[in-house]
Amino acid sequence: MEGAGALAVKDAGMSKRAAPPRVWGARAALAAFALDQANKLWLIYFYHLGLRQPVRLTPFLDLILAKNSGISYSLLSAHGAVGRWSLFALAIAATALLALWLWHTGTRASALGLGLIIGGALGNACDRLFHGYVADFYHFHLGGFSWYVFNLADVAICAGVALLLLEPLIKPAKDFS
Report whether pLDDT(10) > 90: no
Tell which wins on pLDDT, 145 or 175.
145
Total domains in the fold of the chain: 1
Strand partners, 138: 63, 150
What pLDDT shows up at residue 52? 95
Does any domain span residue 12? no
Please list, in sequence order, all residues whose beta carbon lies within 8 angstroms of the beta carbon of residue 22, skipping any fewer than 6 positions away: 102, 103, 105, 111
Q: Which of 36, 127, 136, 175 is an active site residue?
A: 136
Q: What is the mean pLDDT of residues 107-117?
A: 96
- Residue at 56 is within a domain: yes
Q: Please check whether residue 66 is in contact with residue 137, taking contact to mean a CB–CB distance below 8 angstroms.
A: yes
Q: Is residue 5 part of a domain?
A: no
Q: Tell me: the pLDDT tens digits for 151-167?
A: 999 999 999 999 999 99
pLDDT in tens, 122-144: 999 999 888 888 999 999 999 88
99 falls within a domain: yes
Q: Which domain holds residue 90?
A: 20-170
**In-domain check, residue 2:** no
Whether residue 39 is contained in a domain is answered as yes
The confidence score (pLDDT) of residue 147 equals 86
Among residues 36, 62, 127, 154, the one annotated as catalytic is: 154
To the query of whether residue 36 is one of the catalytic residues in this protein, the response is: no
Active site residue 11: no
Q: How far, in whole angstroms, is CA 11 from its chain's centroid?
A: 35
Q: Within a domain: residue 158?
A: yes
Has residue 8 been placed in a domain?
A: no
pLDDT at 123: 96
